[in-house]
Amino acid sequence: MYFFHNMKMERIRAWAPLLVGSTLWMALGCSKVDFQALPPDSCISMNQAYGDGTCVVSSGGSQSYNYQVVSGDVDILFIDDNSGSMYTEQRKMADQFPGFLDGISKLSYNIAITSTDVDDLAEGKDGQFFNFGNGKKILTNSSRVKDQTHSQNIPLFQNTIKRQETLDCPNGPSCPSGDERGIYAAIRSLERVENRDFFRPGGHLALVILSDEDERSSGGGAPGSEINGGAISSNYLAQDKDKPETFLATAREILSPGKSISVHSIIIRPGDTSCHASQNSQGGGVKGFYGTQYARLSQPSSDLKSIAPLKTGTVGNICSSNYTREMGEIAQYLTTAKIQLPCKPDDGSLSVTYPNGGVPSNQSVSLNASQELEFTPSIEAGTQIQLSFTCK
């Protein structure tokens, strides 16, 4: 697996000798130098993700891509609010996980869990992944069937999403942080070197955020948080890593441009006054806030979508009696196969073939406005797809 840190620095280092040498020859009055087009970051990233030669840049600057992907690869990061008010919601998610996992059983999935707590470096905090009961930090199902591994993954997830520190909080000597920072945690998960095997170069990244509050509890004064009355104290103002824009900029720098992203929030939906009142009537000092910042990522504006290949996700109701609908919608979303391209192909240049066959004779493919390939009928997970195209 590859991590795509410091792309711009690597690009500069790779081309520095050529540029310096060319400058020297020009200074010595030698013949005219024909500079080769500098590869764009997307081309460098795709070569690192899929191997040298995936992207070749012509002397005129045109990018030629040729690589193979497998449909149905998805990395799912659950961001679990582990504050003291959340055990009931954690249990509801655990209860519906068997149906969710059965729904995505044909996908090659990576599943990990972190928390909204970034206050220290304990397990599961600051973007670190929790350990599952088998000692691993990532649940996988590369076989794409409901086998023994698939069955074992269900209790491993259920026992980890339900947090003992959350259950102990009301009567315990200490509690996890009540300063929820799901976006910050997502950024730290991307940045951590030890998490690099989780984020595969292709496929799709899905974040699932479960919280009864917003980023920094009330939105931290970030855009849209006025619905929660702004920051609740000077200590809870949004920092750069609490903002959706920063998460997307970080994802763009670290992930392959061929990897799409979606965010699925189970929150107090903005404007849902009934759920808001219910969450705030629990007593014991429990307060709920509209999940405005999380909803911005799940239902993104065109401005947010322009930063990284972010797709519209789902927004679930944290007050639901159970999460059958919420988890079912996420599973349905993830099983609808689309392939993200790193750029818009030139007209007539796109070639899509299936080296191992396995597709119906009437299989067709189209390119949507987000530079995604859509398949009709929906393509089976695990299908090998050979892609070839050029971009200006």
pLDDT digits (tens, 9 = 90+) for 56-69: 999 888 999 999 99
Beta strand 73-80 with 204-210 is parallel
Question: For 43-47, what is the mean pLDDT?
Answer: 92
Within 8 A by CB and 6+ apart from 9, the residues are none
Most confident of 20-24, 88-92, 375-379: 88-92
pLDDT of residue 7: 47
Q: Higher-confidence residue: 173 or 18? A: 173
Is pLDDT above 90 for 89?
A: yes
Alpha helices in 144-228 (DSSP H): 148-161, 164-168, 182-191
- Closest residue by Cα to residue 345 from 311, 368, 375, 364: 368
Asked if pLDDT for residue 389 goes beyond 70, the answer is yes
Q: What's the token pair of residue 295? A: 């909803």
Which pLDDT band, with edges at 50, 70 and 90, does 22 fall under?
A: very low
Least confident of 94-103, 105-114, 138-147: 138-147
Give the pLDDT band (50/70/90) at residue 27.
very low
Topology of the domain covering 73-334 = Rossmann fold (3.40.50)
Q: What is the pLDDT of residue 230?
A: 66
What is residue 211's predicted lDDT score, i.e. its pLDDT? 98
Please name the residue that has the structure tokens 């730290």. Answer: 188
Per-residue pLDDT at 260 exceeds 90 = yes
Looking at residue 88, what is its pLDDT? 96
Report the first-to-last Cα separation within the chain, whole angstroms: 28
Residues 6+ apart with CB under 8 A from 73: 107, 108, 109, 200, 202, 203, 204
CB atoms near residue 355 (< 10 Å): 10
Q: Is 118 helix (H, G, I), strand (E, B) or coil?
A: coil
Provide the pLDDT confidence category of residue 283 given band limits of 50, 70 and 90.
confident
Per-residue pLDDT at 135 exceeds 70: yes
Residue 386, φ and ψ in degrees, nearest 5: -95, 125
User: What is the average pLDDT across 371-378?
Assistant: 92
Asked if residue 14 has pLDDT above 80, the reply is no
pLDDT at residue 286 in the model? 80
Share of the chain above pLDDT 90, in %: 72
Q: Pairing between strand 338-340 and 364-367?
A: unpaired
| CB contact set of 328 (below 8 Å; sequence gap of 6+) | 96, 99, 100, 103
Output the pLDDT for position 228: 79
What value does the mean pLDDT take over residues 103-124?
A: 96
* CATH 3.40.50.410-classified regions of the chain: 73-334
Q: Is the pLDDT of residue 28 over 60?
A: no
The rounded distance, in Å, linking the Cα atoms of 182 and 264 is 12
The pLDDT value recorded for residue 234 is 60
Q: What secondary structure letter does DSSP report for 228?
A: G
Model confidence pLDDT, tens digit, residues 195-242: 999 999 889 999 999 999 999 999 988 888 877 776 666 678 999 999
Is pTM, for the whole model, over 0.95? Answer: no
Other beta carbons within 10 Å of 123: 11
> What does the block give as tokens for 83?
């504050």
pLDDT digits (tens, 9 = 90+) for 290-344: 999 999 999 999 999 999 999 999 999 999 999 999 999 999 999 987 899 999 9
Q: Is the pLDDT of residue 95 over 90?
A: yes
